[in-house]
Chain A
Amino acid sequence: MEALGQREEFTRWAQAAQPQLLRGAVLLTGDRQRAEDLVQEALTKVAMRWSRLRGTSPDAYARTVIHHDHVSSWRKRRHEVLTAIEVDGAQARPEPERRILVLEALRTLTPRQRAVIVLRYFDDLTERETADVLGVSVGTVKSQTHLSLRRLREAAPELAEFLHEESR
């Protein structure tokens, strides 16, 4: 009965968490299939440790797994040519112009810079929380945020109004 209860508990958590995790992973990777793989793997790792994580913060753990696995896989593929971004059949139907601009601009960032942007501005984490997920210092988060926003402004001047820096 306990195992059944845990399974239901996990399922409720996973169904609530996975839309946000998947959307963050899409912004992170620019690739729907890879994003889904990352989320699947993260949910599996949470499930393996559910009895320990259920009373803590499974979202934070899943997010850490996603970002770690993404950087690891990127390191293995860093010398490959990046393919075009595809999000939800982007090639099959017209995209709003601004959405394309955002995705194209994100492509100009390094994996770590994308991670910083996603964690801080999509997941709304603080600099400290972002540093903990990525295993870097707060100073690195600050400098990467600064560099990333600058690079995004350069890549998509049309989005400049969204990309000014503010402290938080």
Chain B
Amino acid sequence: MTDQRLHDLLHETVADVTAPDLADTAWRAGLRGRRRRTTTLVAAAAVAVIAVAGTVALVEGDPGDDPAPTRKPTVAPTQTPTPSNRSTLRSTYEPEISSHDATYSGVPVWWAPTVADEQRLPAYPDSPLPSVVDLSQVSGSIDDDPLDRALAAYGVYGPDGGVEAVDVLGADGRLRSVDVSRVEPMTDPEGIQRVRLGPSLLSRGGDYLMFPQEHSILLYTLRTGRWSSFDTGTSPTWDATWIAADRIVLADPSRPLAQAPEYSVDGVTDGSSNVIGGAVPELPLGSSQLNGRARTGGTRMAQAFTAGATIPEPPGGASPEGTSDWISVTWTPGEILLIPSETGRQKSCCQVSGWIDASTVLYDSRTSTGTDLLAWRVGTGRFWVVTRLTGVTLGQQTVVTSYAQLTPPW
């Protein structure tokens, strides 16, 4: 009955809010929007015809390529694709596709696989990471089973927002637990007190765990099992980020163009950098926000963004423009990976996790069925699954992932 009482209380609170008739204005504005959409879709369909023709030629000229996933349906050369074809699920995958799906401010846009398609992606060959990481299967404490360098670190929040576990993954495929009872909660951007476990939990080299604290940084060195900390003064620490194997910058997403102070793992501050500015592409961002940590691979940098930029969506979808997360790969040539929003796809779903080689970026895919680490060969339609995370109670626990840089230099 209490639910009903709160329901009644809320309704009573706004009972005298009366609505002007917005229907007519909305219909006329919608009509104008539809006309603009129609123009855009006609242009996109024309591009799609050209793109598919080019794709067929490429596929035929490359018969020996490994079978690899794409997001695109098989289309015979004589067929004209319809917009809805491009977003339907497929049971088969073609070899490499090198024609992008759309453009945004002149930058090629690729549409990531749907949630259902992700379940059918092939495994990435020769991955240093296990194909499955079962977070319920921890071999023991890192104190009893030492590890110099981890490939990945995983944090698990429970339903009450408390930390249930922090585990590190070794190259031997075993998970070790780390006792983080000394880590204090801090105030998150929404004003909630909780322990900060984020994408910069693990250092690039895989040899430190970093825990931002109010006015300090707490570090755990895997090789020695030693905890250390250094003071940071008044600079915000929530978004502290690794920028080298042993260097941390106190990034501040609210001031993306500002120079942020840098610290060595010994707590020596001797410089500053604008780590965020370099990851932001020169594109209309709309209300998109930085999502997670920028990761460099070879000469390129990848950064995930929340929804907000009006990047073209796959035709036939029901998502409003600007509701999909996306990943930007900056520097020439720039590329965009749009992860179309859909039922089952979590918001802020897809942080960049690193690079598995100089041209293949890794990203987390968070859906209602779990978290998978996926790989995208930048500038192609090739996708793989690298690691599927299991051993988590969906709806009860939340997993945070952080990966070491898998390719040198760190």
- A124 interface residue, CB < 8 Å from B? yes
CA distance A98 to B11 in the complex (A): 12
Contacts of A136 in B (CB 8 A): 346-347
B18 adjacent to A19 (CB under 8 Å): yes
Contact of A139 among B34, B189, B289, B397 (CB under 8 A): B397
Contact of B347 among A39, A43, A49, A134 (CB under 8 A): A134
| Contact A68-B23, Cβ < 8 Å, known A122-B11, A142-B159 | no
- B74 interface residue, CB < 8 Å from A? no
B160 adjacent to A143 (CB under 8 Å): yes
- B144 interface residue, CB < 8 Å from A? no
CB distance from A118 to the nearest CB of B (A): 7
Contacts of A72 in B (CB 8 A): 287, 307-308, 322
Most buried by B among A23, A61, A103, A118: A23
Nearest residue, chain B, Cβ from A120: B3
| Contact A68-B323, Cβ < 8 Å, known A39-B22, A147-B161 | yes
A73 adjacent to B160 (CB under 8 Å): no
Contacts of A132 in B (CB 8 A): 343
Contact of B398 among A68, A99, A140 (CB under 8 A): A140
Contacts of A168 in B (CB 8 A): 3
A48 adjacent to B23 (CB under 8 Å): no
| Contact A79-B396, Cβ < 8 Å, known A14-B23, A48-B37, A147-B161 | no
B10 adjacent to A122 (CB under 8 Å): yes
B394 adjacent to A139 (CB under 8 Å): yes
What mask results when residues 3 to 46 of chain A are scored 1 for a CB within 8 Å of chain B, else 0?
00001001100110011011100110000100010011001111
CA distance A67 to B280 in the complex (A): 26
CB distance from B206 to the nearest CB of A (A): 28
Interface residues of A in 56-96 (CB under 8 A from B): 61, 65, 68, 72-73, 75-76, 78-79, 87-88
CA distance A87 to B16 in the complex (A): 9
B345 adjacent to A166 (CB under 8 Å): no
Nearest residue, chain A, Cβ from B189: A78
Question: How many residue pairs at the A-B interface have CB separations less than 8 Å?
Answer: 164
Nearest residue, chain A, Cβ from B322: A72
CB distance from A128 to the nearest CB of B (A): 9
- Of the listed stretches B25-33, B57-65, B101-109, B214-222, name the one at the interface; the rest are far from the partner chain: B25-33
Interface residues of B in 301-327 (CB under 8 A from A): 306-308, 318, 320, 322-323
B347 adjacent to A135 (CB under 8 Å): yes
Contacts of B346 in A (CB 8 A): 135-137
Nearest residue, chain A, Cβ from B33: A48
Contact of B30 among A47, A112, A142 (CB under 8 A): A47
- A146 interface residue, CB < 8 Å from B? yes
- B190 interface residue, CB < 8 Å from A? yes
CB distance from B286 to the nearest CB of A (A): 8
Nearest residue, chain A, Cβ from B320: A45
Contacts of A44 in B (CB 8 A): 25-26, 29-30, 33
Nearest residue, chain A, Cβ from B7: A121
- A155 interface residue, CB < 8 Å from B? no
B323 adjacent to A121 (CB under 8 Å): no
Most buried by A among B5, B7, B14, B346: B14
Nearest residue, chain A, Cβ from B35: A48
CB distance from A79 to the nearest CB of B (A): 6
B25 adjacent to A40 (CB under 8 Å): yes
CA distance A86 to B243 in the complex (A): 45
B14 adjacent to A112 (CB under 8 Å): no
| Contact A122-B17, Cβ < 8 Å, known A68-B323, A140-B398 | no
| Contact A15-B23, Cβ < 8 Å, known A48-B37, A102-B10, A161-B5 | yes
CB distance from B285 to the nearest CB of A (A): 10
CA distance A95 to B248 in the complex (A): 52
Contacts of A164 in B (CB 8 A): 2
Contact of A48 among B7, B34, B191, B349 (CB under 8 A): B34
CB distance from B2 to the nearest CB of A (A): 5
CA distance A88 to B20 in the complex (A): 12
| Contact A143-B191, Cβ < 8 Å, known A22-B17, A40-B22, A121-B6 | no
Contacts of B306 in A (CB 8 A): 75
A45 adjacent to B3 (CB under 8 Å): no
- B341 interface residue, CB < 8 Å from A? yes
Contacts of B333 in A (CB 8 A): none
List 26 A-B pairs, Cβ < 8 Å: A7-B27, A18-B19, A21-B19, A23-B11, A23-B14, A40-B22, A46-B26, A46-B30, A47-B30, A49-B318, A75-B289, A78-B189, A78-B254, A98-B9, A102-B9, A102-B10, A135-B349, A136-B346, A139-B394, A139-B396, A139-B398, A140-B398, A142-B159, A159-B9, A162-B5, A162-B6
Query: Given contacts A15-B23, A46-B26, could you give 16 more A-B pairs where the C-beta distance is less than 8 Å?
Result: A14-B27, A18-B23, A22-B19, A43-B22, A47-B31, A50-B30, A52-B318, A72-B322, A75-B287, A98-B13, A110-B190, A121-B7, A132-B343, A135-B345, A135-B349, A136-B346
